[in-house]
Structure 1
Amino acid sequence: MASTARTEYAEPDPAAVGFVMHLGRAMHSYGEASHRLEDILGALSDRLGLQGAQFFSQPTSLMASFGPVEFQRTYMLRVQPGDVDLRNLAAVHGVSLEVAQGLISPAEGSERIAAIAASPSPYGPFLTTLAFGGISGASCLLLGGGLREIVAGTLLGLGLRGFMLVAARVPRLGRVFEPLAALLVSGAAVALAHLGGPLSVLVATLAGLIVLLPGLTLTNALNELASRQLASGTARLSGAFITFLGLAFGVALGNRLATAAFGAPAAVQAGSLPGWAGLVALVVSPLCGVVLLKAAPRDIPWIVVGTAFGVGGGQVGASALGVELGAFAGAFAVGLASSIYARLQNRPPAVVLVPGILLLVPGSVGFRGLTSLMERQTLAGIETAFSMMLTAVALVSGLLIAGVIAPERRVRDPGAPTRRPRLSG
């Protein structure tokens, strides 16, 4: 009986399996969420005729099995969460569609993925450094900072970029990068408060560290948990919590050391700026986000529009439902905009979705909560932490409901060509 079953089952095509695994590694490293990654790989496996395909994605590993249970072949890749790269994510998504539609073979698709990984970034080191300073300055204004806080936040963002370049050459710093970066930024903020005049040290510190705050990771973790990706969501949530703790500890230590060296900074309220300055920040922030997230230049208009949808929806929702629940309206608007973009451009919705919700994620709120707890302000810390979780849940709810109302087109959809895939080069 076993030999009969063996003859009825054809071994999976090595080129097809290789392409699916290469695609999974690439999408994982470019920032694709676990539930979408598993859906895409499953749909592609169906189109390539890989029977019984199953996938299990986690932040540090990707497992796949093919074939019936009796003859299952299992593969495992050790992966590490990489920086979000929206241009490469869209490029490998396009390759997956070409393979699924039979326009190119799986072997050719694997070669394309390797070429995409080797391609240089569209934005050089100088422009990336400017983006660090620009997004810190714009975030400082959105956090309520005045002119002095904006200047200080911009300088701190540029300094953080410099430290990242140094840390990239010293691998041992990677284990303590977040606490050490927070220590240096918070200490520099206190020094700037003494050298450049009184300013809100907390606002300047938050702006300088804005690119390290794991608000997006927290939102993705809750999104995965809501999608029943329990293992990946729990691991990602734990990672976000550890990052918060490391940043809060570094800020507390940096403040203490800088205060001992320079003296306690004067407690001042952040200055105010005219209303038009906020509009400038809403334009500068997504443009800097395009550079930091490595989005393709062709997607810049869509990203700016998606961000405007999110901010506008968030403001309308906040006025009607409150600040925390207002994030639901903003996320819902961004989710709809990203789904429309995905259908019109046939590209992954993350290209518009990720930059669009960056201004809505509760990273700064969670940081304030942990800082309050470390300063033994227990009640304020708990209240702030609850506000962070409520905001994150509201964001995830908005995204999920938007996905139900305007679902993206998948590889399995009948709208895709049904041409038989070529399984050999």
Structure 2
Amino acid sequence: MDTREFIQIRKFIVKLGKMLHRYGTPAFRLEAYLTEVATYLGVRSAFISTPTSLTFVLWSDRHEEEYNSAARMLPGDLDLNALSLTDELAIKLLGGELSLSEADQRLDEIDAMQSPYSHRTTLAAFGLATGSFAMLMGASFNEVIWTGLLGLVVYLWALWATRSKRVNLMLEPVTAFASGLLACVVSRYFDPGINIPLIVLSSVIILVPGLAITMGLAELSSRNMVSGTARIMDALMQLFKLYFGAFLGISLGFFLLGENQYEPSASLPYWATWLAVLLLSIALLAIFRTRPKHMLWAIAAAFVSYGTTVGTSLFMEQSMATFAGAFALGIFANLFTRIANQPATIVSMHGLIVLVPGSKTYIGLNTFISGKNFVQAQHIGQEVFLIFMSLVGGLIFANVVMPTKKAL
């Protein structure tokens, strides 16, 4: 291998790794995938991925050429559209349909690509996702509507954060603070007696890092100790910032407008929870930037995981039911990989979002600090831990029963 060819290969691998990192790929999947690509291109490799850094070590068979690179990265956000396109590009490269120079150029095009969903569509998706989550939490019809409206405010903050580093650094506490204060205004002037903590939690649920904690535990289970620990600590810090912002906003609202007296109202009927799962899965299509050809798969994944969990909970404990839901989701995601030849992450993330106990972690934090529950919950800390373990265990067993055909 001559120097010019080696330089071309390592530039492509570094660019590919950085892009996949930005799309929220877990460390163990990213490292395995890059190793697979590097092996095909004829170079030896070693990679170390963490949520905030990415290290590349590449060398030729006889060490005529060597290259080391360490990049400081920001934690990636899920972009399933770009992830899918990048994987398709790598498949064509490995299949000999594209040359390395053509693949490199195509990577630049994908990297510059905008979301397939407009800002208006994503705005509506935030409102729909937060409102439907409130339905899952047993909120009344009025509380669902108010939650959806506050979800629109959260999206405006999230959009501003993409254009301002200062706002991005304070996104979690400031959005939770704004939601808490606005919920107090709603309770004082428009709808007295609403469940303010539940509305605030539901309105910021997109920012609650339950999914990040699950990914961190999965990385720890795969012996990626540094990445898993860093991801979990980052997620816990996000959770603390959200809770502090909500606590400050509600406290200021009560001080200025008077304390709210919660008056329980009739929850929506049971069938509304299934409608909520449908609406939540539809909203996540835009939030996760899912490609149109994967929409039905993604919605089906949400119903597979939730339906299995609800069905098995009739004769199992909640933690075992969650294990069954995660196991069914893992089988479904690996089946998707075999049929569509696309990363399992594309559908598994939609199913995990209705299973991960990020909201219960928030509730447990509230109970620990204030001594009060704003929803009916007993032994919340133990339940959260068992559910997290069940999620990771279910996905691991699914990969044993039906191994995935792709590293991503």
Corresponding residue for residue 279 of structure 1: 274
Structure 2 unaligned residues grouped into runs of 5+: none
Aligned to 1:73: 67
> Larger C-alpha radius of gyration, 1 or 2?
1
Q: Is 1:301 aligned to 2:293, yes or no?
A: no
Deviation at 1:252, TM superposition (A): 1.1
Tell me, yes or no, if structure 1 residue 402 matches structure 2 residue 391.
Answer: no
Matched with 1:150 is 144
C-alpha change, 1:389 and 1:34, in structure 2 (3 Å) is same
1:195 is displaced (CA, Å) by 2.3
2:54–2:71: 8 Å Cα contact kept in structure 1? yes
Alignment partner of 1:104 is 2:111? no
> 1:164 is matched with which residue?
158
What is the Cα deviation at residue 168 of structure 1? 3.5
Structure 2 counterpart of 1:399, one-letter code: L
Instruction: Work out which of the residue numbers 56, 61, 84 in structure 1 matches 2:53.
Output: 61
Q: Which whole-Å CA distance do the structure 1 matches of 2:372 and 2:278 have between them?
A: 36
Pair 1:115 & 2:109 matched: yes
Deviation at 1:13, TM superposition (A): 1.5
Q: CA deviation at 1:268?
A: 2.4
RMSD across aligned positions (CA): 2.1
Q: CA deviation at 1:98?
A: 1.4
SS of corresponding position for 1:294: coil
Match of 1:323 among 307, 315, 318: 318
Please name the residue that 1:18 is paired with.
11
Cα separation, 2, equivalents of 1:272 and 1:332: 31
The reply on whether 1:342 has 2:359 as its aligned counterpart is: no
Q: Which residue of 1 aligns with 2:123?
A: 129
Q: Deviations over 1:35-87 (max 9, x none)?
A: 01111111111111102x11100111111112279764212222212321001
Matched, 1:84 2:53: no
Distance in 2, Cα, partners of 1:377 & 1:306:
34
Partners of 2:320 and 2:331 lie apart in 1 by 18
- Opposite residue 406 of structure 1, the aligned amino acid is M
Report the 3-state secondary structure (helix = DSSP H, G, I; strand = E; otherwise coil) of the residue aligned with 2:205. coil
Q: Pairwise mapping of residues 225-240 of structure 1 onto structure 2 (< 5 A)?
A: 225-240=220-235
Contact 2:160/2:167, CA 8 A, preserved across alignment: no
Are the counterparts in 2 of residues 317 and 328 from structure 1 also a CA contact under 8 Å? no
Q: Which amino acid aligns with 1:408?
A: T
Residue 343 of structure 2 contacts residue 406 of structure 2 at CA under 8 Å; is this kept in 1? no
What is the SS of the residue equivalent to 1:13? helix
Distance 1:88 1:339 in 2: 20
Tell me whether 1:39 sits opposite 2:35 in the alignment. Answer: no
- Give distance in 1, aligned partners of 2:160 and 2:37: 41
Q: CA deviation at 1:270?
A: 4.7
Report the TM-score when normalising by structure 1.
0.90
Aligned AA for 2:83? Answer: L
Find the aligned partners of 1:294 and 1:411 in 2 and give their Cα distance.
21
Could you tell me which amino acid in structure 2 is paired with residue 387 of structure 1? E
1:196 pairs with 164, 179, 190, which one? 190
The whole-number CA distance in structure 1 between the counterparts of 2:190 and 2:319 is: 35
**Higher RCO (C-alpha 8 Å, min separation 6):** 1
TM-score calculated relative to the size of structure 2: 0.94
Secondary structure of 2:322 counterpart: helix
Q: Which of 346, 360, 367 in structure 1 is aligned with 2:362?
A: 367
Partner secondary structure for residue 49 of structure 2: strand
What letter corresponds to residue 74 of structure 1 in structure 2? N
| Distance apart, 1:241 and its partner CA | 0.7
| Matched residue SS, 1:319 | coil
Distance 1:22 1:168 in 2: 22
CA deviation after TM superposition for structure 1 residue 377, in Å? 6.1
Q: 1: CA distance between counterparts of 2:108 and 2:310? A: 43
> How much does 1:269 deviate?
2.4
Confirm or deny: 8 A CA contact 1:153 1:208 kept in the other structure: yes
Q: From the superposition, tell whether residues 83 and 270 of structure 1 become closer, same or farther in structure 2 (CA, over 3 Å).
A: farther
Determine if contact 1:316/1:329 at 8 Å carries over to the other structure: no
Q: Is the 8 A contact 2:51 2:76 kept in 1?
A: no
Q: Tell me the SS of whatever aligns to 1:66.
A: strand
Return the offset for 1:226.
Answer: 0.3
Which residue number corresponds to residue 380 of structure 2?
Answer: 384
Corresponding letter in the other structure for 1:276 = W
Q: Which runs of 4+ in 1 moved over 4 A?
A: 9-12, 68-72
- Note the residue ranges of structure 1 that are not aligned, 5 or more in a row: 1-8, 413-425
Query: What is the letter of the counterpart of residue 89 of structure 2?
Result: V
Q: Percent identity?
A: 29
- Secondary structure, in 3 states, of the residue corresponding to 1:286? helix
Equivalent residues, number: 402
Structure 1 residue matching 2:70: 3-state secondary structure: strand
Say yes or no: does 1:30 pair with 2:23: yes
Q: Which amino acid aligns with 1:311?
A: Y
SS of structure 1 residue aligned to 2:207: coil
Aligned residue number for residue 173 of structure 2: 179
- C-alpha separation in 2, matches of 1:106 and 1:304: 35
Q: Which is further off, 183-192 or 252-261?
A: 183-192
Deviates more, 1:91-100 or 1:158-167: 158-167
